[in-house]
Structure 1
């Protein structure tokens, strides 16, 4: 990870601490890039908003990979749903799942809302966390067929439940992500959207206590985020 981050930072002329602060602010709070530019200027650091965007695109994938390795285990009862994200003027679909306690299982941005997208989401989540005991969804035909096809192909004993009421927990959790995305006024490309949403999801999971840290060391959400770069 250190080598990967070192390669990214090689041609950047700002201290790592400054870059991490800007990237964290962008992922953690409902701020535009110009807001961050102004806030840094008030602190005597002059950085263009486009530069902050470039830092985010380069740094967040590395931190996301570290977070995945250090993410706490989640429960075996999943609630899954998808929400809309605008990319290049068109609506795309952010698949997300949380467990019974509200901890994030996984997330995946896809161009289409169909069987293939839902199945890819479930396969990735299972690869990361193992096979769940239960998956609760709404009455989406694509999500239902994706789970049924996985059960048929793998023989996994997954209980499928279709309940709007039980799925409220993931629908409410979408709001934390949409609140950060809204000031960004849409994404210019699918790649940028995927990277930035991953950063937003990381900060959201850190705030929920999903980063594994030493039991004897209490750390703020900010310090936990910065620790991903160490």
Structure 2
């Protein structure tokens, strides 16, 4: 991140702050769980302080990871699921590539053509490269929005083809249960927009790699994380 001012005013060193933030976004842990894990290593910090760290640094880490990420695949799988927030239905729109890497998310109150257009435009703004194929379920809003926003892209609409996008919601559901639902649409958007990029770099597809290859990929992921969180400046 190359920002010497990033951690100014914080009592704890950047290694501790970034490690707590990593634990929160990487695993299904509560703030109290992380407080206990940190205490087991001799670091006494309250769960409320950890919560403040995730709010302060999660988005910044994720933004830097997005800037540094490798180009993702050109086949985009899109899907939307219902989020119940304070008794009201909202919709989490998510896009992943053919390798399962999260591309972007958007929490909206609607599931119509305008909502689909808004999500397409957000994707195009974030991912500035040509896409070849768009894969969705049979929701008519996708087709109507695609004609206006991405008319030249091949669109495949079939529920069976979109399993990758549907499976990508599972970690989100696990976190939603662990957090006892999201507190507001803004809370959901803030958490999920940081959760995706942070998890992308540690998504190493272990089942396709040898043990040696996996260790190498994982080492590279931690090196990138240390650069993004500015830890290397203390080395």
- For this structure pair, what is the TM-score category when the shorter chain's length is used for normalisation? 0.7 to 0.9
**Cα shift readout 1:46-92 (whole Å, capped 9, x = no counterpart):** 21112111110110111121111111112222211012334445443
Alignment of 1:117-156 (within 5 A): 117-127=115-125, 128-151=127-150, 156=151
Q: Secondary structure at the match of 2:160?
A: coil
Could you tell me which residue of structure 2 aligns to residue 12 of structure 1? 10
| Shift in Å, 1:220 | 5.3
Residues 131 and 158 of structure 1 are in contact (CA less than 8 Å); yes or no, is this contact kept in structure 2? no
Residue 100 of structure 1 deviates from its aligned partner by: 2.3
From 106, 109, 133, the equivalent of 1:108 is: 106
The correspondence of residues 1-230 of structure 1 with structure 2, limited to 5 A, is 1-3=1-3, 6-7=5-6, 9-127=7-125, 128-151=127-150, 156-209=151-204, 219=219, 221-230=221-230
Q: Distance in 1 between matches of 2:8 and 2:109?
A: 33
Note the residue ranges of structure 2 that are not aligned, 5 or more in a row.
206-215, 231-235
| 8 A contact 2:78–2:162 mirrored in 1 | yes
Give the TM-score normalised by structure 1.
0.84
User: What SS does the corresponding residue of 1:188 show, helix, strand or coil?
Assistant: coil
CA change 1:50–1:190 in 2 (3 A) is farther
SS at match of 1:167: helix
CA offsets 1:93-152 (integer angstroms, 9 cap, x no match): 22111222323332222233222222121112223143422211111122221112214x
Unaligned runs of 5+ in 1: 211-216
- Distance in 2 (alpha carbons) for counterparts of 1:226 and 1:181: 28
Q: Counterparts of 1:129 and 1:107 in 2: how far apart (Å)?
A: 16
TM-score norm. by structure 2 comes to: 0.82
- Farther-moved stretch of structure 1 (29-38 vs 194-203): 194-203
Partners of 2:25 and 2:80 in 1: how far apart?
20
Shift in CA distance, 199/105, structure 1 to aligned 2, threshold 3 Å: closer
CA separation in 2, counterparts of 1:148 and 1:93?
A: 22
